[in-house]
């Protein structure tokens, strides 16, 4: 190769590197409203619900006679441990980002001024440990909206001449599922909701929390160190290390993976609590980072509640049996409630989807699959937290 071509090639490589830097620096979260669908199970329902129409749900010439609905609780607050990490770590991380930036908010690292201003304006607000795992106001609103949608879609089931015996509600022994059930009832029945009988919850509930009473699942998945091997390999692999590095470069601060994890959770929770606002802690991530982190979550749910292990979904037969029996009794005997509404958690929701064969990949997900054609795990159809 001639000296001239070597110089030309070097120039092109230099330009390519510069363009990559400029592209990374140019990304501004504050000007991009399309990251809500990259937040895995914390994605806000109000942003992803889409448009349901009756024709998509009810085949032509069919008349709905009964509704069986497994509902995940609405958006909640984090665990006590996560709330404490928010309270202790986020103010310090915010301060570190602004060290050496001055007061003009012109940006450090690769953050645009608008993103810097988001972080500058953030505060912990009224979050405290007493709120741990309770339903957030947005979560109650989600449930009311969901019920209102079904009220429009199935007027022959959620009818005006309300009778309490026509509807069965059941929730687990948690505040977030109880409040979700009450919010759903308000959205569907208005003032009549107070007349609905909701039995005292079982703890654990063998139907709605079947995985808690399945000793085989506990032994083979929950207490088996190798069951989540693919998720662990990805978590500590190069893709995740690159996210930590890029977040540090973007914010102009050297972060640990633990600190990036806290900011990632804050990004997702604050987006879920306030979906009409931009979460300051999403500012430190680009879409590329969020896609990597979402795939990490996909792997987690795939092996914890999806097709990663047969016992995950085989045990969901309890819910399938309940569904079939409920429908059969109504159709063949004309008995049973018009509507059955169960309020549970992500574990039951994902396991039932897998038991029904929904959203199944042709091959098992692995820690390497993110480098191939983009794929989506079961989390695509979940909401709340």
Q: Active-site positions? A: 73
Q: CB neighbours (10 Å) of residue 13? A: 10
How would you list the strands of the sheet with 67-72, edge to edge? 67-72, 339-344, 167-171
Q: Are strands 67-72 and 167-171 parallel, antiparallel or unpaired?
A: unpaired
Counting every residue written for the chain, the total comes to: 385
* Pairwise CA distance, residues 317 & 210, whole Å: 9
Inter-CA distances, 153 with 57, 59, 158, 192, 296, Å: 9, 13, 9, 19, 36
Task: Dump strand ranges (E) for the chain.
Answer: 67-72, 167-171, 339-344
* Pairwise CA distance, residues 302 & 279, whole Å: 27
* Pairwise CA distance, residues 238 & 125, whole Å: 35
* Pairwise CA distance, residues 19 & 16, whole Å: 5
Inter-CA distances, 191 with 160, 185, 195, 251, Å: 12, 9, 8, 50
């Amino acid at each position: 190769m001639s000296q001239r071509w070597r110089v030309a090639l070097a120039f092109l490589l230099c330009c390519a590197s510069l363009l990559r830097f400029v592209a990374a620096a140019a990304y501004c979260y504050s000007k991009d409203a399309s990251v809500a669908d990259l937040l895995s199970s914390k994605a806000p329902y109000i942003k992803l619900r889409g448009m349901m129409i009756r024709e998509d749900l009810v085949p032509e010439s069919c008349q709905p006679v009964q509704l069986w609905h497994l509902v995940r609780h609405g958006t909640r607050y984090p665990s006590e441990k996560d709330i404490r990490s928010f309270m202790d770590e986020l103010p310090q991380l915010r301060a570190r980002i602004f060290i050496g930036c001055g007061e003009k908010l012109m940006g450090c690292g690769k953050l645009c001024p608008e993103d810097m201003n988001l972080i500058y304006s953030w505060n912990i607000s009224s979050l405290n440990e007493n709120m741990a795992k309770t339903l957030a106001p947005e979560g109650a609103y989600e449930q009311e909206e969901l019920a209102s949608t079904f009220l429009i879609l199935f007027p022959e089931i959620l009818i005006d001449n309300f009778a309490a015996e026509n509807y069965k509600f059941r929730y687990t022994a948690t505040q977030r599922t109880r409040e979700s059930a009450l919010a759903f009832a308000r959205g569907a029945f208005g003032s009549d909701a107070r007349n609905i009988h909701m039995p005292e919850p079982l703890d654990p509930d063998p139907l709605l929390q079947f995985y808690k009473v399945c000793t085989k699942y506990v032994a083979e998945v929950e207490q088996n160190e190798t069951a989540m091997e693919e998720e662990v390999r990805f978590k500590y692999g190069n893709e995740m290390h690159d996210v930590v590095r890029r977040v540090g470069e973007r914010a102009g601060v050297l972060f640990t993976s633990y600190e990036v994890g806290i900011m990632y959770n804050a990004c997702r929770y604050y987006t879920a609590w306030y979906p009409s606002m931009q979460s300051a802690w999403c500012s430190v991530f680009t879409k590329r980072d969020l896609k990597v982190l979402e795939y990490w979550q996909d792997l987690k749910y795939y092996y914890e509640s999806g097709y990663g292990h047969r016992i995950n979904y085989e045990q969901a037969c309890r819910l399938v049996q309940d569904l079939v029996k409920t429908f059969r009794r109504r159709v063949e005997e004309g008995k049973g409630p018009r509507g059955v509404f169960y309020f549970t958690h992500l574990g039951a929701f994902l396991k039932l989807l897998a038991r029904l064969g929904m959203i199944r990949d042709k091959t098992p997900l692995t820690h390497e699959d993110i480098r191939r054609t983009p794929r989506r795990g079961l989390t695509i159809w979940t909401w709340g937290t």
